[in-house]
Amino acid sequence: MTYGYARCSTNESKQDINRQVRELKAAGAEEIFIEYEHGDSKIKSQQAAMFDQAAAGDTVIVLEVSRLARSTQQLCEIIERVREKRLRLVIIGSITLDCRSGQADPMSEAFLQMAGVFSQLELAMIRSRVRSGMENARAKGRQIGRPQVSKEDIPAVFLRHYPAHKNGQLNISELARVCDISRTTAYKYKSLLEA
């Protein structure tokens, strides 16, 4: 069996996931596990489910090392799991770690670990640039984060349907749907009105 693993940081990046899924299918993935989680997150439930389901002799394919992990420690744990389960791990167009015999080629393992180091370095550099950019924006007097919302900012459509929610005719999900907003935004507007 050939499993594919696609991951991106948030479910708002669906285009990225769709690209990964297309390329994994083209590479022969029969079943694809999709994850919306940060690369350095300790818990990746879909990745864990994939490795639990994979049996000796199976193949796991992924587009980039950074899709698997953004931490060298986590990548080393994945390598160990691949070895223990006697799997073949393919980073498309890059590295293949074949542990179906119970052993890994030392050179392939070393290259995979080095790729993990660069993936972790890239994440650290991105975070450093973001922090620097935020500090620069603050120094220029810009407000960082989402703008503050007041009662005056609540749209008329929400105000029109809110009484139906308050009377129990609409639950919060229905209110959000008829107003074409997220539930989080509906809760925010509700708390402003009830404050």
Residue numbers annotated as active site: 9
Are the beta carbons of 60 and 96 closer than 8 angstroms? Answer: no
Token pair belonging to 102:
């119970």
In angstroms, the CA 112 to CA 91 distance is: 9
Are the beta carbons of 28 and 1 closer than 8 angstroms? Answer: no
Neighbours of 54 (CB within 10 A): 21
Establish how many alpha carbons lie within 13 A of residue 25's alpha carbon, considering only the half-sphere containing its beta carbon. Answer: 7
